[in-house]
């Protein structure tokens, strides 16, 4: 059913109050086709979990909410299993399903907000794992032709928080399902110090994938705000990759600058560290600000306008460039 003038606050984790001119949900390709046929020339916006978006104004178009759910085993051997999930499934629910069934590979990605369909678009990652590491393929609806196309790992052109759907094919497809390859003979990844510390505190020396998942949930819960309580979209900025000369210049003024190897001979800096050093961490402006425990996270404490949060992000970007010679890039989509 198509609704008019719908408040989108429940459909974005920032909790921004904006209205959509028209709104409808779909749970199948046939429903999606019927709705697109009724767009009447309106711009289209597809929403899943609404976890990677900042609305700065009302949307004068047609919002379609993806509710394509269902998880099924496609193929299984003694050592691995392939699972297909509807794009509308909540990502964390999918992770818990895998962990509960002893299917390994996504446990390090526990408690990341959003939907399954958004995971390959963003190539989400955390604690040493990215979607591309467990991804097999996805099916997507081509909006213009109405055809279903399949994309394998190579076709998705995954990069750091990137895929072809954020660049060349942006706004051309609607992801309907994603297939993952998971393990039954697990390779535990606890290489990140925070996980090792959490396991040690619990006295766990031989962790299971459930132990890893629980550790990640505990870590994320301790330092990241729950969108159900404080509006946010997780990490607002990407970690920048810079030339080594930029790092060396920063090191002349700061000791122990966090940095990691990056492609093409560059180094990746921690955006949160840069923002914290610049004094933004914990800053509050009436009903919005920078989270007190994680400088990467911008927050909406009440009924803040999205434009104010956007302006805050601009001020941070300009300040970081002035202080460090590094240009931060927003990870969140701006509408």
- What positions carry a catalytic annotation? 161, 235, 331
Tokens in use for 100? 């509960």
Cα–Cα separations (whole angstroms), residue 197 to 65, 237, 319: 39, 26, 34
Residue 145 backbone zone (phi > 0: left; psi -120 to 50: alpha; other: beta) = alpha
Among 319, 323, 326, 314, CA closest to 269: 326
The C-alpha atoms of residue 139 and residue 132 are separated, in whole angstroms, by 15
The DSSP result for 61-108, as a single string, is EEEEEE----EEEEEE-SSEEEEEEETTSBHHHHHHHHHHTT-BSSGG
Rg from Cα positions in the chain: 20
**Among 316, 307, 123, 298, which residue's Cα sits nearest to residue 227?**
298
**Residue 134 and residue 33: Cα distance in Å, rounded?**
30
| Spatial CB neighbours of 181, under 8 Å, sequence gap ≥ 6 | 80, 81, 82, 105, 134, 135, 136
Q: Which residues contact residue 70 at a Cβ distance below 8 angstroms, ignoring those fewer than 6 apart? A: 85, 86, 89
146 touches 249 (CB < 8 A): no
SS3 226: coil
Furthest C-alpha separation in the chain: 61
CB 240 within 8 A of CB 130: no
């Amino acid at each position: 059913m198509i609704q008019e003038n719908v408040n989108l606050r429940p459909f974005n984790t920032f909790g921004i109050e904006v209205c959509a001119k028209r709104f409808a949900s779909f749970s199948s390709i046939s429903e999606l086709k019927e709705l697109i046929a009724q767009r009447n020339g309106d711009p289209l916006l597809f929403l899943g979990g609404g976890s990677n978006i900042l609305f700065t104004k009302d949307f004068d178009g047609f919002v379609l909410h993806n509710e394509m759910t269902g998880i099924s085993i496609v193929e299984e051997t003694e050592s691995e299993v392939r699972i297909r999930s509807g794009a509308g499934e909540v990502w964390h629910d999918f992770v818990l399903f895998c962990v509960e069934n002893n299917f390994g590979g996504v446990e390090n990605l526990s408690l990341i907000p959003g939907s399954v369909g958004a995971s390959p678009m963003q190539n989400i990652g955390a604690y040493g794992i990215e979607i591309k590491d467990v991804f097999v393929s996805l099916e997507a609806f081509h909006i213009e032709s109405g055809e279903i196309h399949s994309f394998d790992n190579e076709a998705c052109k995954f990069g750091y928080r990137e895929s072809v759907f954020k660049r060349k094919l942006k706004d051309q497809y609607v992801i309907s399902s994603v297939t993952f390859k998971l393990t039954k003979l697990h390779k535990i990844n606890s290489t990140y110090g925070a996980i090792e510390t959490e396991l040690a505190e619990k006295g766990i020396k031989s962790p299971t994938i459930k132990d890893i998942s629980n550790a990640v949930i505990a870590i994320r819960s301790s330092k990241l705000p729950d969108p159900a309580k404080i509006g946010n979209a997780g990490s607002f900025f990407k970690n920048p990759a810079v030339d080594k000369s930029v790092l060396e210049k920063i090191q002349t003024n700061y000791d122990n600058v966090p940095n990691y190897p990056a492609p093409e001979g560059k180094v990746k800096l921690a955006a949160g560290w840069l923002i914290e050093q610049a004094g933004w961490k914990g800053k509050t402006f009436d009903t919005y600000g920078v989270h007190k425990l994680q400088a990467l996270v911008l927050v909406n404490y009440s009924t803040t306008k999205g434009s104010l949060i956007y302006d805050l992000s601009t001020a941070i970007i300009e300040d970081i460039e002035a202080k460090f010679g590094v240009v931060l890039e927003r990870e969140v989509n701006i509408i």
